[in-house]
A and B are shown apart, each in its own frame.
Chain A
């Protein structure tokens, strides 16, 4: 048994080495490039503080885009996840829905953004649509997995009363998976803010537009202002989501006390 484990670990390490050669990932290049980081770090500290106002407003636009994308995406993902759960539907329902969701997840948000820039033109709306698509694929999958992992006892007990499927969903499935869903929504909102920050790369609005342009012209000091604002925002959202998680999720799942 132990030998088998060692063999598997050995094969994985050998795989990494062989593949690194294949993709030209040479650690020596990294060592040679290290001094470049020094130059970048020096320039990045020359922060241009006059840009903070612009950075603030473009960050606000980014948050708004992420918020709309998250809300609409979750609203569409939720019914899809109910249809994709194997413990609620027969395979003629869940197989096509799962195939659709898998197809949506194939594209990362940046590719959706390119697609929507072509369809609706440059600007934040294309970014919002990209975030919606990504959120649907991501939340629907996690949520149908959460629904399938629901404790079988309440499902059996309530099912034995002879309730309809809608009633089973409303009184067992939704309450039993609600804390999971809330946790996933907090995560995807946080993630959506970070990915909306780079959608500017393809002209789909948000703060990333500025970051990309300043970096392109080697103005690291100016780009740094925008990156600092993104960092601060992500930290604030992390702080808020920890509070929400403690209040509504951890306590309801375990009845446990948080040490602060």
Chain B
């Protein structure tokens, strides 16, 4: 299965929580959505993946949470589950909090019910059928709702919430899972600038206090550089650039076939809106 071309493959380092070696993926076996991706994400990192629509960045998240398997190459996630067909895989899925682009909330259920879904892997089938959660689970869920700024809205139905509030619910559901990794797919791209930054602050605070690794897909390079400490740029399924950021300084820069100016030019039109 393992197949590398060109670049040398780094060995799994004890510091990285996700490592991809020569990963290619396709949906219909005709065209590759991702081509020969090398990626090493260290524990506790705030990693951003930026690219235009259709560049394959959402597929990258689906590969990390095991909803999809790579066609070629290998993905190692920290607790060593290279293959979603493993028996142990399902019992470890809750360690990855996945927030899809459309959030995947249950719109006719309340905020609290949606958030408690994150606790289901810890609840027996019988109790969950009657929607019975222990007091400590409910307290924990309410604490997290407060943390993401949704206090007093636990009993609201999700369809009544604003776009920003819905994103907070999705974040809270992921945090209730007690995850090690948070994957967020374009969580702020449809929001106005103010709300987008509020949501990014909520995520940044949660990441710091709960010691999470965050892997977020963005459309907007500016926003990614502002919040992430490492940014990978994907273009037509290939990783063309990886930037390390410290404060507002670029500390590390690796590029494939494109120059820095060429890549920044690709985004100038979009980030101005």
Query: Could you list which residues of chain A lie within 8 angstroms of chain B, going by C-beta atoms?
Result: 153-158, 160-164, 166-167, 170-172, 175-176, 178-179, 252, 255
Contacts and interface: CB of A to CB of B under 8 A. Distances in A.
Nearest to A155: B104
B100 A156 contact: yes
A245 to B, nearest CB: 15
B159 A252 contact: yes
B109 to A, nearest CB: 5
B108 A170 contact: no
A171 B104 contact: no
Given A171-B120, A171-B128, A175-B108, A162 B100 contact: no
Contacts of B120: 161, 163-164, 167, 171
B92 A176 contact: no
Interface in B99-134: 99-100, 102-109, 113, 117-118, 120-121, 123, 125, 128-129, 131
A170 B120 CA distance: 11
Contact of B106 (A154, A156, A160, A164): A154
Nearest to B89: A162
A176 B108 contact: yes
B177 interface: yes
Contacts of A166: 125, 128-129
A162 B93 contact: yes
Given A157-B103, A255-B160, 10 more contacts: A153-B102, A156-B104, A157-B98, A157-B99, A157-B170, A160-B98, A162-B92, A175-B106, A176-B107, A176-B108
A162 B106 contact: no
Most buried by A among B107, B120, B129, B170: B120
Given A167-B128, A170-B129, A252-B159, A161 B117 contact: yes
Contacts of A179: 108
B91 interface: yes
Nearest to A164: B125
Most buried by B among A154, A164, A176: A154
B157 interface: yes
A160 B93 contact: yes
B100 A170 contact: no
Contacts of B25: none
A154 B129 contact: no
Majority DSSP secondary structure for residues of A touching B: helix
Contacts of B21: none
Nearest to A154: B104
Nearest to A162: B93
Nearest to A254: B159
Contacts of A170: 128-129, 131
Nearest to B160: A255
A251 to B, nearest CB: 9
A193 to B, nearest CB: 28
A163 to B, nearest CB: 5
B194 interface: no
Nearest to B157: A252
11 contacts: A153-B103, A155-B104, A157-B105, A158-B104, A160-B96, A162-B90, A162-B94, A166-B125, A170-B131, A171-B109, A255-B160
B108 A178 contact: yes
B93 A161 contact: yes
Contacts of A252: 108, 157, 159
Contacts of B159: 252, 255
Contacts of B117: 158, 161, 163, 171
